[in-house]
């Protein structure tokens, strides 16, 4: 057993994953209570956020969900007035979505809430600890990437 394997025991990794899951779960519950939006709906909003208009199929692909599920999510966001829908000029089967003014403001409010919560929670950390935290946090998407059966990877 090498140094890394000794340091990263299965029990430690499993306990860490449970702790992270618990923290994210409770953080998302507070956001849901405060803003009335589930994690899944919020994630769909973030898939749209940086683009003027996005195809529903692209959202489904990014979220790793079937098209019919993405369509239901889009319907729920539309019912809340957070997005607008439109079809392609030539192919009416292609549906685009974009954030409404309300959706952009809503997303900004959620992001501000997250930002201020994190800043409040790390105010007693040293600059070196914050740098280490940021360095680690930037690698989370890579750390949580799952190899698929074909030898490629599926990022979580």
Domain-located, residue 119: no
User: What is the per-residue pLDDT for 71?
Assistant: 95
Give the count of domains, the chain: 2
Q: Distance between CA 81 and CA 116 in Å, rounded?
A: 26
**Domain boundaries, position 150:** 127-156
Quickly tell me which residue has 């029990």 as its tokens. Answer: 11
Residues 109 and 58 in one domain: yes
Task: Give the CATH number for residue 48.
Answer: 1.10.10.10
pLDDT tens digit sequence for 57-86: 999 999 999 999 999 999 999 999 999 999
Q: Distance between CA 156 and CA 150 in Å, rounded?
A: 16
Domain-located, residue 47: yes
Sheet holding 95-99, edge to edge: 54-55, 95-99, 83-87
Angle between helices 10-35 and 39-49 (to 10 degrees): 80
Domain-located, residue 120: no
pTM: 0.81
């Amino acid at each position: 057993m090498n140094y890394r394997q000794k340091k990263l025991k299965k029990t430690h990794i499993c306990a860490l994953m449970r702790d992270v899951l618990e923290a994210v779960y409770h953080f998302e519950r507070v956001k849901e209570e405060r803003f009335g939006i589930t994690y899944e709906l919020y994630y769909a909003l973030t898939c749209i956020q940086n683009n003027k208009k996005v195809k529903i199929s692209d959202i489904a692909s990014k979220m790793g969900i079937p098209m019919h599920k993405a369509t239901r999510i889009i319907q729920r966001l539309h019912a809340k007035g957070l997005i607008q829908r439109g079809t392609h000029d030539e192919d009416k089967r292609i549906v685009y979505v974009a954030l409404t003014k309300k959706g952009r403001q809503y997303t900004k409010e959620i992001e501000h809430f997250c930002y201020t919560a994190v800043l409040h929670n790390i105010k007693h950390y040293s600059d070196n600890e914050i740098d280490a935290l940021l360095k680690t946090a930037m690698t989370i998407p890579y750390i949580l990437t799952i190899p698929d059966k074909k030898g490629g990877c599926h990022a979580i």
